[in-house]
Amino acid sequence: MKERIREAAGSYFISVTLINAAMLILGSLLSPQQRFGYEAFLYPLVYGLIGIIPSLIISTDKELSVKQAVIRKVMQMLLIIVLLLAFMFGDDPLNRQTIFMAAAVALSVVIIYILVNVIMWMLDARTAKSMTEDLKRFQQGHEKSI
């Protein structure tokens, strides 16, 4: 449970950072004339929270095969897209601009989701490498003392 919370928190903060970048890019490209108030600072925090909900819901403590892990990640990503689109466009009338904006948001969610997972994997790999090196040093020191 502690590990799941740590992973969710790391994913949340990485997501919020990437969501801010995506909002800057999409806003600059699709609606450069629009200006926001301070409430706009809340949206990346809420979107980040929505983004970690599926990882908390669709989780398991058992070891998954690579295929199962990929399927789970795809399901989580699709659920994030559905939740975010419902939250962002749920009460908007269906028109050409709404569909275009929703497609842009969905694409940015896919990119952000992939980047978050790559960054989390890189951080985990670095931690594992450090732990392996520490273990090797410990074993070498222990062998010398025997």
Is residue 65 domain-resident? yes
Q: Which two tokens stand for residue 2?
A: 């502690």
Is residue 43 domain-resident? yes
* Measured distance CA(19)–CA(7) in Å, rounded: 18
Is residue 14 domain-resident? yes
Is residue 11 domain-resident? yes
For the chain, how are helix, strand and coil distributed in percent, rounded to 5?
Answer: 85, 0, 15
Is residue 138 domain-resident? no
- CB-based contact 115:18 (threshold 8 Å): yes
Is residue 137 domain-resident? no
Q: How many domains does the chain fold into?
A: 1
pLDDT, residue 59, reads 73
Nearest to 112 by CA among 43, 49, 48: 48
pLDDT, residue 96, reads 87
Question: In a structure prediction context, what are the per-residue pLDDT tens digits for the chain, which is 146 residues long?
Answer: 677 788 888 889 999 999 999 888 888 888 888 888 888 888 889 999 998 888 888 777 788 888 988 898 899 999 999 999 998 888 888 888 888 889 988 999 999 999 999 999 999 999 999 999 999 988 887 776 66
Is residue 63 domain-resident? yes
* Measured distance CA(87)–CA(85) in Å, rounded: 5
Is residue 89 domain-resident? yes
pLDDT, residue 131, reads 93
pLDDT, residue 36, reads 80
Domain containing 109 equals: 2-120
